[in-house]
Amino acid sequence: MNLLHSINDFNEAKQVIVGGVNSPVRAFGSVGGVPRFIQNAKGAYIYDVDGNAYIDYVQSWGPLIFGHCDSDIESSVLRSVKNGLSFGAPTELETTLAKEIIGTYDGIQKVRLVNSGTEATMSAIRVARAYSGKDDLIKFDGCYHGHSDSLLVSAGSGCATFGAPSSPGVPKDLSKHTLVARYNDIDSVRACFEESKAKGSGVGCVIIEPIAGNMGLVPADKEFLHQLRELCDIYGAVLIFDEVMSGFRASLRGSLAYCDVLPDMATFGKVIGGGMPLAAFGGRDEIMDLLSPVGSVYQAGTLSGNPIAVSAGLTSLLKLKSNPDIFEALSQKAKTLTQGLQDVAKSVGIPLQICHRGSMFGFFFNDKAVRNFDDARESDTTMFAKFHQKMLEKGVYFACSQFETGFICTSMGDKEISDTLDRAKESFEEIANDL
């Protein structure tokens, strides 16, 4: 596979961009090899600057549920561009998008649009603390909620890939208010509540990915989420579901279709932007009305509710709501892919754990099922790197870290799934022969 242009582009980028990339995992640090510089994409495929084609299971890390360059989303963006790129003033489209989110996700009565998942989670925590009147925050080991200071404690995703569960530069005075519990372990959550109570501060909110996508794909147990809801009610803490990745992805109702547990607040991103920078956070009226200009909790953003991004996201949501059967079809494709991967790995004696929720999927080179970040860290990341490199060489683009999630899009058909499994079989056989 010719990679001359990608190699040259990467070397040039490193002269002016830190590490040559604008998001750490893109540097391929945990899988080795050269990051592909992408020139264009269509449907299920991306094409690099050297003309190589790849079946794309990253899909811009989740937003592109309809694949690259969907004609409806593309048309809505082009129409919106002709009206202006940004106004710094309200538009009717913002209200329409807000109504679509509220009308789909139970328990959310008001939302605010922002530009990124980091902004959404950071802002949700701020207003949740104001509502509860308590400072401490409980998060879960391996869950990633963006790169704001209080949340870069035992984070997953890129932090896990680079072996830095807590980032330098985060003041101890901030991190001391963040307590870290073990995913799918209610006793560890209870211990955090008791620790906070003992030191006199109290837990103001709990944030969790109900379908964790940043330690690999690891769903929370239904009973665990019910117990978490009960603990938050007992201790007066605001429960925040981070659905930036899973919202309108795992199902039309995000994680709610799998657990029927209602949070007090939720954050959204990715799919609601249709590939453009857009996110949101929302909750019950009495919580959200603490935000300025109604209340005194300050949050703002120059480009929040950008009309181009809102147009893309609104088109994406309307397409999903007009054809809810999409989710079952995507789920079936993810099941076929993951089960197929497990079968071909097993045929050559390589242990592989698999999981999928709707169109989200993950796999671990591990002898046992993965239920938390400790389990995920026991996976064979060296094997993952070998497999990733083999598949990339054969034209299949998986997430470039063991601790990330893959995505199916509607543009993927039987051929793409079949081709992927054929190439996976070849890759596993080559790896097994080298062992």
Tell whether 210 and 273 lie within a shared domain: yes
Distances from the Cα of 88 to the Cα of 77, 81, 85, 314, 357, angstroms: 18, 15, 10, 19, 37
Q: Select the highest-mean-pLDDT range: 22-26, 162-166, 217-221.
A: 217-221
Q: How far is the C-alpha of 59 from the C-alpha of 398, rounded, in Å?
A: 9
What would the mean pLDDT of 408-417 be, rounded to a whole number?
A: 97
CATH code, domain carrying 202: 3.40.640.10
- Total domain count for the chain? 2
User: Do 120 and 269 contact (CB within 8 A), yes or no?
Assistant: yes
- How would residue 152 be classed by pLDDT, with cut points 50, 70 and 90? low
Using the predicted structure, report yes or no on whether residue 217 has a pLDDT greater than 90: yes
- Measure the CA–CA gap between 304 and 98, rounded to whole angstroms: 13
222 counts as catalytic: no
Asked if residue 178 has pLDDT above 60, the reply is: yes
pLDDT surpassing 70 at residue 166: no
273: phi then psi, degrees, rounded to nearest 5: -105, -5
Alpha carbon 311 to its chain's center: 21
- Which amino acid is located at 350 in the chain? I
State the angle between helix axes of 381-393 and 414-434 in degrees (0 to 180), rounded to the nearest 10: 120
Lowest mean pLDDT among 49-58, 178-187, 227-236, 333-342: 178-187
DSSP string for residues in 387-418: HHHHHHHTTEE--SSTTS-EE--TT--HHHHH
| Residue 242 among the catalytic residues | yes
R_g over Cα of the chain: 21
The one catalytic residue among 56, 242, 264, 375 = 242
Q: Is 105 a catalytic residue?
A: no
187 shares a domain with 293: yes
Strands 211-212 and 218-219, bridge-based pairing: antiparallel
- How much is the average pLDDT of 399-428? 97
What pLDDT band is residue 167 in, cutting at 50, 70 and 90? low
What pLDDT, on a 0 to 100 scale, did the predictor assign at position 149? 64
Q: Are 249 and 142 part of one and the same domain?
A: yes
Q: Is the same domain home to 211 and 318?
A: yes
- Same domain as 100, residue 44: no
**What residues make up the domain containing 27?**
3-69+324-434
Is residue 397 a contact partner of residue 36, using CB atoms and an 8 Å limit? Answer: yes
pLDDT of residue 199: 86
Q: Give the range among 147-151, 318-322, 425-429 with minimum mean pLDDT.
A: 147-151
16 and 93 assigned to the same domain: no
Burial code (b: 16+ CB inside 10 Å, e: under 16) for 373-387 equals bebbbebbbebbbbb
Span 242-260, mean pLDDT?
A: 96
Residue 357 pairs with which residues in a beta bridge?
360
CB 213 within 8 A of CB 323: no
Mean pLDDT value across residues 368-391: 96
User: Strand 265-268 relative to strand 238-243: parallel, antiparallel, unpaired?
Assistant: parallel
Residue 197 phi, psi dihedral angles, 5° rounding: -65, -40
Average pLDDT over every residue of 240-253: 97
Contacts of residue 212, defined as CB under 8 A and 6 or more positions apart, other chains included, come to 140, 142, 143, 156, 183, 218, 219, 220
Residue 354 has pLDDT above 60, yes or no: yes
35-49, 155-169, 230-244, 317-331: which has the minimum mean pLDDT?
Answer: 155-169
Both tokens of 301, joined, read: 């953003």
Instruction: Report the alpha-carbon distance of residue 374 to residue 185 in Å, rounded.
Output: 12
pLDDT tens for 91-148 read 999 999 999 999 999 999 999 999 999 999 999 999 999 999 999 999 999 998 887 7
Whether the bond between 324 and the residue before it is cis, its omega within 30 degrees of 0, is no
Residues 381 and 236 occupy one common structural domain: no
Q: Of the residues 270, 333, 390, 394, which is catalytic? A: 270
pLDDT at 165 over 50: no
Structure tokens at 352: 């592989």
CATH code for position 332: 3.90.1150.10
| Predicted TM-score (pTM) of this structure | 0.94
Residues 81 and 157 in one domain: yes
* 134 and 65 part of one domain: no
Q: Are 129 and 202 in contact (CB under 8 A)?
A: no
Query: What's the pLDDT score for residue 159?
Result: 37
Contacts (Cβ under 8 Å, ≥6 apart) of 303: 86, 115, 277
> In this structure, are 63 and 163 located in the same domain?
no
156 has pLDDT over 50: no
Mean per-residue pLDDT over the chain, rounded: 93
From 322, 343, 368, give the residue that closes a domain: 322
Which pLDDT band, with edges at 50, 70 and 90, does 163 fall under? very low
Q: Which one of 322, 341, 370 terminates a domain?
A: 322
Q: Is the pLDDT of residue 246 over 50?
A: yes
pLDDT value of position 150: 67
pLDDT in tens, 298-311: 999 999 999 999 99
List 45, 131, 144, 235, catalytic entry: 144
* 282 lies in the same domain as 427: no
Shared domain check, 128 and 15 = no
Classified as helix, coil or strand, 95 is helix
